Structure 1
């Protein structure tokens, strides 16, 4: 029986109604190892089996500014009582404080499936109920999403269809320079589902075609070994300085593409004045860049020469923009590609996010696939996604965002499903303080992870293994059936079932369900897709599709809006959706915002925390909190594959042998990673693949504080977000700056606490 997940499609082996194991599909050339671990996680002791309410909340203790949330016991209640509590609280908050006091906190990957999409279900329910405060952008790419429409125009994600695909790179490109690398581990995932993994083989085809790769990253392993990439270790958060040094070298040697810059771009003259030091007295030459980045002056000069004498492609990964002034490396990478001479040529130029998910660079997109119909939100208020703690702690404060001004709303009820904010958000001790502020936190969860333990009302939800649906991944040309392969654990229900029950209590069940059952919804969405694409000529009927397990979508055809090839050929006929119709090397619009942390052209701003800061005297290691190889964000941290990667039950932290020796650290030792924001335990791994002065601790280990709710308490399990700063990239995007954090590491010589991340909270008797 075929099943689909964010990390690929698998075969579920079921015996007498019991899920026995999950196996890779025979036609997947690079299956993810995460899938098989779903079996044990589906039945482990961390499952939420019945609705549960925090005891203090149920007993009517003060609901704001306390410290019990996260440390309190829970009382299990009936579904009828749980639905009554949630519906009554929604009525109370809306009537007393207004609809904007409800925050619809569904952000993130949730699970694959077109119908059982947590965010779509929650937002539809809240919108029909009167509205809610929403969030904007993503933790992954907030800076990129805001800056790119100013620079190249179009929808924030339209760049994915406008950049070269891997097959075009193999055929036409000679040199790829990847800032932030292109770690193959990240390509095992794809939002919405995935039929089969293709990135590995496409990358290999590029290398076999003779394409040379340069990895500009603090971590050698950020590219696959078979690419034989040249490694240029760069001090974290200095990518912009490296690009400026390359650009200056191009300019002073006359290697830049003057024709493209003149015809297809605006603002180069002003930017050139900045490069030459005419605006601030500092020439951004190779020697200047070398002092900042740790890359040698000769290497910078040579890279400038090769980029302009070869058919080249500048890649920039998402990690480099999750930092102080994260908009700058994205903007500067576009400018560097425009200068290099390959922008708008087949297989060359510029692209972002390659290998961050399997779809990126694999296909330009996919045909329309229906999803749960959206309902307009009557509440116009929103917050930038990473400013949730600010909104809770400082309601009424006015902040900048993309040229506008936002007033942070007063949030009284937080309704969260489909994501774990205690994974995504930075400075978890600050988030904990903020989390005590709202009157009520409602969470839908399948497991007792940190978000569930920090809620007031926890409603148990079925996993993707426990419901029918179909998957359609981002840019993936397949639909994959997702039949239920096991019964829901305990009293778990689907998100839709829960919202339908709440809607019935609140008087809009018919509007929410449209009088369809869940199975009817799944069929309806498939048939809507089929009809929109041409009926029998496009897709088989639903019953046939369900038997076959997969169906191939029709290929996309037609021009690509905002194509750089078209721009190069005729910028007047094919303008970009920018104010000038061209690539904005300097932006008058951004300049008019008057931000002191995001100028009108790409600029080097010194980060608050980096290895060149005074703070590095106390915390001399830069923390890279990148995506894990063993799970998707925090999903299935309790699965076999993630658990197997732990060291003495803790998340592994990679450290250069020289840094380890200076601290008396040996491989396999439990260490404390710490700074002024907090500390966590982790298992040391010594690796020459991590440059000296850097440590790498992946995100997603379920946060396990020794004393929940107490600021500064030690995390037993290895979550790096106890160490990262809750500080926006800039006033432009207000995105997260997780990769701007300094730490130190030391052997942990105290009594080793048990890891309780996967243990349920205490369950108290009612009353």
Structure 2
């Protein structure tokens, strides 16, 4: 008799039920209360496919022979040896102890986003750091590839980065009050499918439909019309990439030139406004930041710019800025300039007015705000205090001891001898992957802990196989959801995979810190404790009665307290002296004395336009196209490449490059043509799709292809854009990644290199 079970679960793309038949996942059903479930849930069964899974603990053959003296350049081409778990854990704990004793804790670089799981307990990064902190610490990383430059500048100019995450104005205020919505970048359900920690309800599509029904005026400022759904009426302004700052400055200039600025707000709620206004007027170069000035930079019509500037202060206006805009050289500036524009209109702190960062960039941005305490493990305190900005990994590996600046301070890169990466894939996230590959050869030992053979795992010395979320129990939760979801184990672990907690508990025992790490709790003991702590906080702080753990686990979900109709900085607007910001002045900073003192050439004392090193307005741009590398539609980052949602958006097993038909015709490219993209940094293959919704001069290649360089000439065959992008910082202040500052050559090709599937098959046959 067939045994069929319907098991509640959740991932970054939402809550759902797994349909399990005789111990095998055969399908997925959406959570009944999700109004817009993500199609990505139907790819989850692929986690159980053993093809890409790491079957057992594996050791690189060259490292096993020579240990820390082995040839790191063999990573990625050497073969692996399977070993028992006890031997693998002995080797890992021995390396941790060796490096600590010989070089110090700061020589351990440990990182991850923990994207392997939305679970709050089996969170790879947190558990790894918890274990390492108990033995003296490690070198950490701060910020993310998705968000770095923007949050850094907002921490300085708004006093925190919460406007990017949990405390932005909820979008119900936009529906109720906003008359003019200016979208810089994207406002798309495509990117709102996912949220770190998981969501039980996807709300963006419903919000957009409400805005359409209300007739809200929407202006989309983006090189892609598809950054808003086709069914959302809007004025599309196909701006040149990386020039949004110039448009924001021009809008502010025109408002001031017309005498429509809110002088009282600038005086009472801002500091350094005179410095900012002087720059708009033309100080110090005598060039006013006018509509005509911006038109020459952005490629947009000056009269349209002036018309929008007239409308903004006379209607309730919200400016929303995508995370993607700060993933560029000088990425701090669009976030700061948007703040300056909103301040000039005087609408910050009004319902439906001001500025927001990240609507649509993740599923929780603009959603009701979770109150109380979200469940989660503590990583403890890192005794070393050592960290780097995450986008500077290659710089750290190549330049131990070198000085760099971050948030106004001079720091030095550690001498990283051991890299321990768990649940993440820098050979997806990082820029200039060929440079990273060279840097990756330098550490003495690299340990990777992951369920699957990612490009990073393929380039490790010790590889530990981890159970996916469907193979153990957890809780999905975050500060931007109205429900916690039970993530119940659906199937037995694949191969010899173990949970992250079990792996780190084994290492903690060998390192003498087992009791402090586990606190004498097992998996279900921890889940109960974490949930009940959140339940108590909801009662004590909000007077909200959550169901007890047993009821939650039986039902599969539990409501938590949330706040709707929230307006960011409303209290500050009403009484700035009673609610000062954590900035140099206690006010919104439009002109910074600290940044003036630092004298950074690429991040000045006020919002400012800096020409990027690569952009379409440069004379040397020639016939190159501006490459944008956005989130893929059919997966999250590089996860589940074989899932049906991912394969639906590929051709020939490669990523699809979208470009305007006119740009394609000039290059002899037709629909379905195989193309070669190249920069001085590297080259990759893709398949062309002609799309008039992409502005002229722009090419769009999503991130997430598994890095697969061809053995003959190094051409990346899967379509990974980060072989093309430059590994340079956003600025000396923010040190974020600058992936979207990139010009590429695009040409048809008849190269007959193996595709990504073949490349992975070759790895398996060669290496394991």
TM > 0.5 between the two?
yes
1: CA distance between counterparts of 2:19 and 2:764? Answer: 35
Does 1:666 pair with 2:667? no
Q: Which residue of 1 aligns with 2:205?
A: 200
Q: Which residue of 1 aligns with 2:498?
A: 493
Structure 2 unmatched ranges of 5 or more: 1-6
Report the count of equivalent residues.
759
Residues 320-362 of structure 1 show CA distances to partners (whole Å, capped at 9, x for unaligned) of: 1110100011000000011123222211111110011111111
User: Residue 184 of structure 1 aligns to a residue in which SS?
Assistant: coil
1:266-305 counterparts in 2 under 5 A? 266-305=271-310
Q: Which residue of 2 aligns with 1:637?
A: 641
2: CA distance between counterparts of 1:191 and 1:632? Answer: 11
User: Residue 59 of structure 1 aligns to a residue in which SS?
Assistant: helix
User: Residue 380 of structure 1 aligns to a residue in which SS?
Assistant: coil
Q: 1:738 to 1:258 in 2, by over 3 A?
A: same
User: Paired residue for 1:323, among 324, 328, 337?
Assistant: 328
Residues 153-172 of structure 1 show CA distances to partners (whole Å, capped at 9, x for unaligned) of: 13x22554554321111111
Q: Which residue of 2 aligns with 1:720?
A: 721
2: CA distance between counterparts of 1:765 and 1:398? Answer: 38
User: Residue 26 of structure 1 aligns to a residue in which SS?
Assistant: coil
1:609-620 counterparts in 2 under 5 A? 609-617=614-622, 620=624
Asked whether the 8 Å contact 1:160–1:364 carries over to 2, the reply is: no
Moved more, 575-584 or 306-315: 575-584
Q: Which residue of 2 aligns with 1:600?
A: 605
Asked whether the 8 Å contact 1:102–1:412 carries over to 2, the reply is: yes
Q: Which residue of 1 aligns with 2:252?
A: 247
- RMSD (Å) for aligned C-alpha atoms: 1.9
Residues 471-508 of structure 1 show CA distances to partners (whole Å, capped at 9, x for unaligned) of: 11341011111110011100000111111111111211
1:127-526 counterparts in 2 under 5 A? 127-154=133-160, 156-158=161-163, 160=165, 162-526=167-531
Q: 1:200 to 1:261 in 2, by over 3 A?
A: same
1: CA distance between counterparts of 2:531 and 2:282? Answer: 58
Residues 235-291 of structure 1 show CA distances to partners (whole Å, capped at 9, x for unaligned) of: 000011111111111111112112211221121212121111131222211111100
Asked whether the 8 Å contact 1:75–1:763 carries over to 2, the reply is: no
User: Structure 2-normalised TM-score?
Assistant: 0.96
Moved more, 11-20 or 313-322: 11-20
Asked whether the 8 Å contact 2:12–2:197 carries over to 1, the reply is: yes
User: Paired residue for 1:48, among 36, 49, 54?
Assistant: 54
1: CA distance between counterparts of 2:454 and 2:8? Answer: 28
User: Paired residue for 2:570, among 556, 559, 565?
Assistant: 565
2: CA distance between counterparts of 1:177 and 1:537? Answer: 37
User: Residue 621 of structure 2 aligns to a residue in which SS?
Assistant: helix
Q: Which residue of 2 aligns with 1:8?
A: 14
2: CA distance between counterparts of 1:740 and 1:685? Answer: 22
Q: 1:407 to 1:209 in 2, by over 3 A?
A: same
User: Paired residue for 2:84, among 78, 81, 84?
Assistant: 78
User: Paired residue for 1:553, among 549, 552, 560?
Assistant: 560
Asked whether the 8 Å contact 1:34–1:641 carries over to 2, the reply is: yes
1: CA distance between counterparts of 2:558 and 2:191? Answer: 25
Asked whether the 8 Å contact 1:367–1:556 carries over to 2, the reply is: no
1: CA distance between counterparts of 2:21 and 2:721? Answer: 40
Residues 695-746 of structure 1 show CA distances to partners (whole Å, capped at 9, x for unaligned) of: 0001111111113xx9x71011000000000000000011100000000111
2: CA distance between counterparts of 1:571 and 1:132? Answer: 40
Q: CA deviation at 1:584?
A: 0.9
Residues 440-475 of structure 1 show CA distances to partners (whole Å, capped at 9, x for unaligned) of: 110011111101101111100000000011111341
Does 1:17 pair with 2:23? yes
2: CA distance between counterparts of 1:8 and 1:441? Answer: 33
2: CA distance between counterparts of 1:61 and 1:496? Answer: 26
1: CA distance between counterparts of 2:393 and 2:696? Answer: 34
Q: CA deviation at 1:210?
A: 2.1
2: CA distance between counterparts of 1:668 and 1:30? Answer: 31
Q: Which residue of 1 aligns with 2:111?
A: 105
2: CA distance between counterparts of 1:416 and 1:723? Answer: 24
Asked whether the 8 Å contact 1:648–1:670 carries over to 2, the reply is: no
1: CA distance between counterparts of 2:563 and 2:185? Answer: 30
2: CA distance between counterparts of 1:405 and 1:299? Answer: 43
Q: CA deviation at 1:765?
A: 10
Q: CA deviation at 1:644?
A: 2.1
User: Paired residue for 1:542, among 549, 564, 585?
Assistant: 549
1: CA distance between counterparts of 2:396 and 2:114? Answer: 19
Asked whether the 8 Å contact 1:64–1:438 carries over to 2, the reply is: no
User: Paired residue for 1:29, among 26, 35, 39?
Assistant: 35
1: CA distance between counterparts of 2:95 and 2:576? Answer: 56
Asked whether the 8 Å contact 1:654–1:696 carries over to 2, the reply is: yes
2: CA distance between counterparts of 1:109 and 1:130? Answer: 25
User: Residue 225 of structure 1 aligns to a residue in which SS?
Assistant: coil
Q: 1:120 to 1:61 in 2, by over 3 A?
A: closer
Q: CA deviation at 1:368?
A: 0.7
Q: 1:430 to 1:128 in 2, by over 3 A?
A: same
Asked whether the 8 Å contact 1:625–1:738 carries over to 2, the reply is: yes
User: Structure 1-normalised TM-score?
Assistant: 0.96
1: CA distance between counterparts of 2:56 and 2:197? Answer: 28
Q: CA deviation at 1:227?
A: 2.0
Q: CA deviation at 1:558?
A: 12
Q: Which residue of 2 aligns with 1:688?
A: 692
1: CA distance between counterparts of 2:339 and 2:697? Answer: 29
User: Residue 684 of structure 2 aligns to a residue in which SS?
Assistant: strand
Moved more, 607-616 or 191-200: 607-616
1: CA distance between counterparts of 2:74 and 2:487? Answer: 40
Structure 1 unmatched ranges of 5 or more: none
Q: CA deviation at 1:55?
A: 1.1
User: Residue 746 of structure 1 aligns to a residue in which SS?
Assistant: strand
Q: CA deviation at 1:762?
A: 4.2
User: Paired residue for 2:535, among 526, 530, 538?
Assistant: 530
User: Paired residue for 2:761, among 754, 759, 762?
Assistant: 759
